Amino acid sequence: MGFFIRSLVTQQSKQVWRAYSTNASDITVKAMVYSSYGKPSEVLKWHTYPLTPLTDDTVHVRFLASPINPADVNQVQGAYPLKPAFEQLGDTKAAVGGNEGVAEVIATGKNVNSLKVGDQVVMARSGYGTWRTHAAGPVDDFQVLPPSTNTSVIQKATLTVNPCTAYRMLKDFTPLKQGDYVIQNGGNSAVGQAVIQIAKAWGLKTVNVVRNRPEIDSLRQELLDLGATHVVTDEELGSFDMRSKMKGWFDGKPPLLGLNCVGGKSATEMARYLGHNGQYVTYGAMARAPLALPASMLIFKNISFHGFWMTRWADQHNAADRYKMFEDLIGLMDKGALSEPRWTKVDWSEGAMKHAVDAGIQGFAQGKQIVFPTSSA
């Protein structure tokens, strides 16, 4: 039996309300799913199944945009601590790939008051599966975004992981004052770009370490344009020259916060620039090399080493805390202080998605890969 509800639809760019009926056969979901772990292009498959019918207490959403993040790739490989549930999706037991994205509510059951048709939502928890056209579920599966005036779909689709991680790491580990320095590696990563911009908006200065490459000058300029104070390569980081240069920049006040996206040798090198009682936060391991810590950093400089995981933060905080963070970040986006990450479009097709996910943790990328599951563009 179909449920009659009110739905906001777009007709020739004019939004109109109309009665809308939905049942199991009305919407076919298309999704990139996997039923076992392995190399993404080998285990991911294109799957279609009927959308679960609406009930009085559930909503239907359609996905507008979903990124491919490094953690999504690790998850498909089975190398990520958060393991998704393999659920019955039509005739297949599988997990939908992806963890982040923005969706629009297209239908609400009659007991649903906290969401309405047309609301834009993000996932309430990690591991939801966002590489799909539609989803059905209770309102608790989703969290509505604060209103915005000038925030793009790309920014909304990539809000919950990287800008939130940057925001929390800048806020939660040590009190920082206007003019203080923060040092980070992976300065050109999506997290790194958010760190640069949020830090600038809060009056902080940043030293941003990136890997050297033939087009280093244009990357350096791009990050300076975002608001980076200095951009240095990992090769420059250990040089005698750089040590004395940085001393000059810091003018007796070395950074008390270091953010490590990478690990390995350059991450150890970066820790040497922290001041006494500094906080060093590791949130990524892109180099897949251990972080070696000279004892002197702990004994004589009393540097504290931490890990940060956004998923854990979200588990330990309520929706109101998360909403407040979204408001602050969307506020920055609305006023142009926090821009879209560098990104490239991935076609919503099996071949393109498989290729993109395989490429999702390869270095020297052109930016965040984003798919638009229900866009005809």
Stretch that binds ligand NAP, among 15-23, 324-332, 350-358, 359-367 (CB under 6 A): 359-367
Asked whether 371 and 72 are in contact (CB, 8 A), the reply is no
Alpha-carbon span 188 to 299, nearest angstrom: 32
**Residue 80 annotated in active site:** yes
Under rule CB under 6 A, residue 283 binds ligand NAP: yes
The gap from C-alpha 351 to its chain's centroid, in whole angstroms, comes to: 23
By CB under 6 A, is residue 188 in contact with ligand NAP?
Answer: yes
Q: What is the dihedral of CA 229, 233, 239, 242, to 10 degrees?
A: -10
Q: Which of 86, 202, 309, 323 binds ligand NAP (CB under 6 A)?
A: 309
287 binds ligand NAP (CB under 6 A): yes
We find the least distance from the C-beta atom of residue 146 to ligand NAP, in angstroms, to be 21
Nearest of 268, 208, 215, 213 to residue 238 by alpha carbon: 268
Residue 1 CA, distance from chain mean position: 39
Residue of the chain from 32, 122, 204, 286 that contacts ligand NAP (CB under 6 A): 286
Whose Cβ is closer to ligand NAP: residue 110's or residue 306's?
Answer: 306
| Contact partners, residue 220, CB within 8 Å, separation at least 6 | 210, 231
Q: Are 90 and 65 in contact (CB under 8 A)?
A: no
64 binds ligand NAP (CB under 6 A): no
In whole angstroms, what is the distance from residue 216 CA to residue 235 CA? Answer: 12
CA distance 130 to 135: 9
Member of 134, 156, 211, 220 binding ligand NAP (CB under 6 A): 211
With CB under 6 A as the contact rule, which of the stretches 24-32, 115-123, 171-179, 183-191 interacts with ligand NAP? 183-191
| 86 touches ligand NAP (CB under 6 A) | no
Cα gap 331→334, rounded to integer Å? 5
Of the candidate spans 30-38, 88-96, 306-314, 347-355, the one that interacts with ligand NAP by CB under 6 A turns out to be 306-314
Using the rule CB under 6 A, which residue among 186, 254, 258, 373 binds ligand NAP? 186
**Cα–Cα dist 341/56, whole Å:** 38
Report, in Å, the least distance between residue 165 CB and ligand NAP.
4
Which positions lie near ligand NAP, rule CB under 6 A? 69-71, 161-162, 165, 186, 188-192, 211, 261-262, 283-287, 308-310, 363-365, 368
Q: Which residues are catalytic?
A: 80
